[in-house]
Every structure is written in structure tokens, then in C-alpha cells.
Amino acid sequence: MKRAVFLFFSFLLITSCAGLRGNIGKDPQPVEKVTAERINTLIDSGKLADAFRDLTWLPVNSKADKETLEERIRDGFQADYDKALDNSGYLDAYRILTSVKTAGIEIKDRGRTANDLIKEIVYSRSADISSALRLYNARKYLDFASLKNEDLERITEMAVEAEDKGFLEFIDPVLKKKGIVPSGDFKKVLESRYANSQLIKGTVTVWVNRGMKIENGMGIPDRVIGSGFFIDRKGYILTNYHVISSEVDPEYEGYSRLYVKLSDNIKEKIPAKVVGWDSVFDIALLQVDSTPETVFRFGKEKKYEPGTPIFAIGSPGGLENTITSGIISASGRKFLQLGNVIQVDAPINHGNSGGPLLDKDNNLVGVVFAGIEQFEGINFAIPGKYIVTLLPDLYRGGKVKHPFLGLSLTEQNSNVVVTYVMPGSSAGRTGVEKGTVIREINGNAIDSIEQLQREILKFSPGMIVKLGMKKDGNPFDGYFSLSERPEIPAEDAYDSDATENLFLPLFGMDVDAVSTGIKGNRFVITSILEGSIADESGLSVNDPFTVQRIKVDAENHILYMEIRIKRRKSGFLESGLMLGTSLETGDFI
């Protein structure tokens, strides 16, 4: 399935926006006053990270109250940590211990470090945890630099036994730095390589039967065909979320049955189940009752330059076992709500979605996921660096829940700058303001939005993070609790805030209100972000404009705004202009 990219031939759509003005002039959502009573309520409801955030950003006046609240928060974290350990909830214990260490809250860790808690998962002999999952957890959560040599050797042996070439590629630089010389079949597995015929055996056709649909009064079969590939010998398969969305989307009310076809038996449909899914990254994990001969592995992160040869395997148009080749056209494309994607020019069509993208050495680069319907040869793939981070959550099952601060960002002069603070969000309850520069997170320096997004993805809702920031040249630190990311943050912001407050994150222009009247709402532009929609539309600082109509296309998540503007670049002659923007952009974290 190809996903249409929003191109704003907006002038064609003016007539569809009649009579709608959005929330222009809407009063902002008030910030609830922080009191000892409110913080006690958060503690009683188990929202300890939120209670700590409120206490550090907007402390109560009474010293005695503050000390009592700090003690209650500490006792709450201690109780949760002890409960998690007693119930073998090692990942929950890891998240709690990581949060309190970040916040400087002292609890009794019972002789465990964060690495110790994750090792309990990695070394587990539970039949429910495959060797692949153990190694994905190790890769995401362990601090390899601080591991003892015996742990590194043990984990390496696990990867050799599992023939996980990708993990060995990842850990090899760590072993060399530590002076560890692995024994056994390490070198053999590391240098192994599948032939193309073997790679094909690791791919599948994903086939979703959605019954019948009516077109022009005629009933026709409703089928969704995609691709996928094995990543685990226990029958786990990666594909795109949009291919299998009817299986898990609560808004879909029709018939839906999921199957896969193996590459060497394309006539037989094997029932499959969805284990986990992530609509933000358009990825899903399936499982079938089959032991694959070939499994794909994610190796160490590589930087692929434009012009790098690549090839894709999939089922374009349902034609199974098809290999197409091309090159990487560009990297760093902003096409998803989080992170960047790879642009490729390999022939990719309907049915390729969810298939593997590989380099000339048969290394897994990423997962094919989209194309632009209006143009041939413009296709995209999700880089493996994101998928490796997501896999432990996908294995745990259900919808992946991403952490959220409630900030929209832009990049200016190698700085990550806040352009918007979402009302009601975790950041909305702090002292962060528009124009604040984010310099680091948990001590790790930040110089790009993509880097900050990758760092945030390492955490989970309910955890505490510490941001190093700067405002008006003055550095300061702040603690934040992470909430659960909304499906589309900009849509939530549009519903809850005054629309003009979103002009900067969505269109790239800051404004001051001039007046409100029956002929429209008048503003003047005070700043323009370079490369933004406003900039590319020829708008300038001090241009006055009146908002005529606003419409949201809920199906395609696009906001349209019709304005009357006197542009300086046009001699201040008044003209009509339609601006359009995808609500799935805005660089929200």
C-alpha cells in the first residue's frame, strides 16, 4: 500500500472550507494551581513521576509540606520497586530505578543496578522469551560499557548460539575495546552471509481478507496484500501496521482475517496473529506457527550515503518472491511523526509494504513502508535503528505506547528550540516556554530534533527525565514526567488550544493578534522559520493578514487555512492565499 504525501495544491480546495474558523481567539487551557493537596492526590493515585515533576517545578510554599511530600514520593517509589522485584517484574523495576536515579531520589535498591535488572531478562530461561528477544532487550537497555567481561562473554555466546550475526556486528566493537577475544564460532557467524535465494525464503506475503466491498453497485473481494520477513526462529514476522490495521484498529468494524504465504508454498495461506503494533512508525509484529529456515537480523547502525546500492524483496501486486534493486536517494527525510526515514528509488509498488530493504552485502537496512502515489520511483523505508529500539515493546504485545513531553520543536543554528508547549501536557505544567533551547537529556548532549527523538524513545510513559536547557542565554535544568503520546499530538493541540498558538509549529510563523471582527481575525507576522510553509509561501515579517476560514480534513489529518494577506514581497497588495499543513508534522515530542 502506498501512502500519499501531502502536497499543497491548496488553492484547489478553498471551496471545501466554507464557514469553518477553528478555535481562533479561544482562551488557553488554564494550568491547574499546584498545591500540597494536588500533589498528595497524584501520589495517592500512583502518579509518582507527575507528583515529583510538580514538586520540583512549582514547589509548595511550606518547607514542612515539601519535606512531607518528598518523603511520600520516595516511599511510593520504594513500595513500587519492592513490589516489582518481588513479582519478578524486572523491567518495571528497571524503569523505577532509572527514574529515581535521574531524579536524585534515594531508595533501597536491594543490591541491584539497572544492568542487573535487565540481565535477569536477558539470562532468563523462560520458554516465553526467545533468544532473539533476549538479545533485543540487551541491545536496548544494557549499558555495555559498564558490563563486566564475563557478562559480555556470556551474552556473546548466546548470540553465537542463536546465530545472530546482527547482534555480533553490534557487540564486536565493544569486545575489541575491552580486549576480549571471543572463542568458538564467533568469527564464522560474524562472516556468514545468506545467498539471495536464502533471503527470499525468509520473506512472506501478508494477506488480509476483509470480505467484500461495494464499488459502482458491484461486490468485489476486499483484500490487502503486503510483505513481511522473519526476524525470529519462533515464527515472528515484521510487516507494516497499515497492512494489518483492520486486525487491531478499534474503529474498523468490518470482517478481517490475517494470513501469510511462505515463499516456498505460495498456494497455502497460514493463519497469523498480530502480536504488537506501532501506528506512529507504521510497523507490526506478527507470529505464525512455522520455523523459518532464514531469519533477518539487524546489525550495527550504519550510515548510508545517497547513491548506495540497495535492493528490496516483497510481493508487488501479489507477485511473490520479487527482488527489485536501486539506490538510496536521500536520508533524513521527515515523513513520520518521529524520526527520519530513508528515500529509495528501487521499483516498489502495492504489495511491497513491509518487506526488507537490504544493502549490497545483504545487510538489513530497514523496512519498506511507503511511496508517493503521484510520482514513480519515490519510495521510503523505516531505518533499522528505530525498529531495534521498538522490538522489545512489540514483543510484549499490544499497541506500543510512546513517551511524550508535550513540546513542539524546531532547529535553529544547531540548537533544538521549543516552538510550542501543549496545554495540559507534562511540559505544560512546567516553566518551559517558547524559545527555550534544549541542550541535553539525562546528561547526553542534543544537537538535533532527530537525536532528541531517539533518546526519548529509550524511555517509557511514567518515567522521569532530566533536560538541560537554556533561555535568554541562561542555562538551567528541569525534571519532567513522561506521559503517553497521543495518536496525533497536533490534533489534540488543535482541539484544546487557540488555533493561532499553533501557527508557529504547523506553518512556521509566529503572530500577534491585531483585532477580531465579523470580517475575520486579523494578525501580523512577527517571525518566520526558515524553510517552513510560511517561508516557502513567500510570507514575511510584518505582513498583516486576516483568517477567513479554517478546515481540518480528519481522514487525511490535514489542516487548511484561507487567509487574506498583504505581502511585503508583493508590494502589500491584498490577495487570497490557502495554506495547508499535515497535522502529523510539527516535530512534537
What are the residue numbers of the active site? Answer: 242, 282, 353
Cα distance between residue 510 and residue 500, in whole Å: 8
List beta partners, residue 206.
Answer: 226, 260
Cα distance between residue 275 and residue 238, in whole Å: 10
State the pairing for strand pair 398-399/265-278: parallel
State the first-to-last Cα distance of the chain, in angstroms, to the nearest integer. 27
Provide the sign of the torsion angle of the four alpha carbons 161, 167, 169, 170, taken in this order.
Answer: negative
CA 435 to chain centre: 24
CB atoms within 10 A of CB 555: 6
CA distances from 377 to 201, 254, 345 (A): 26, 33, 5
List beta partners, residue 364.
Answer: 358
**E strand intervals along 403-503:** 403-404, 407-412, 415-421, 437-441, 444-445, 464-471, 474-481, 483-484
Closest CA to 331 of 356, 362, 302: 302
Cα torsion for 267, 268, 273, 275, to the nearest 10°?
-60
Decide if 362 contacts 194 (C-beta within 8 A): yes
3-state secondary structure 174-219: HHHHHCCCCCCCHHHHHCCCCCHHHHHHCEEEEEEEEEEEEECCEE
255: cell is: 470482517
List beta partners, residue 288.
Answer: 272
Burial of 29 by CB count in 10 Å (0-12 exposed, 13-18 middle, 19+ buried)?
A: middle
State the pairing for strand pair 379-383/341-344: antiparallel
261: cell is: 504465504
386: cell is: 528505530
3-state secondary structure 505-530: HHHCEEEEEEEEECCEEEEEEEEECC
Closest CA to 530 of 446, 410, 437: 410
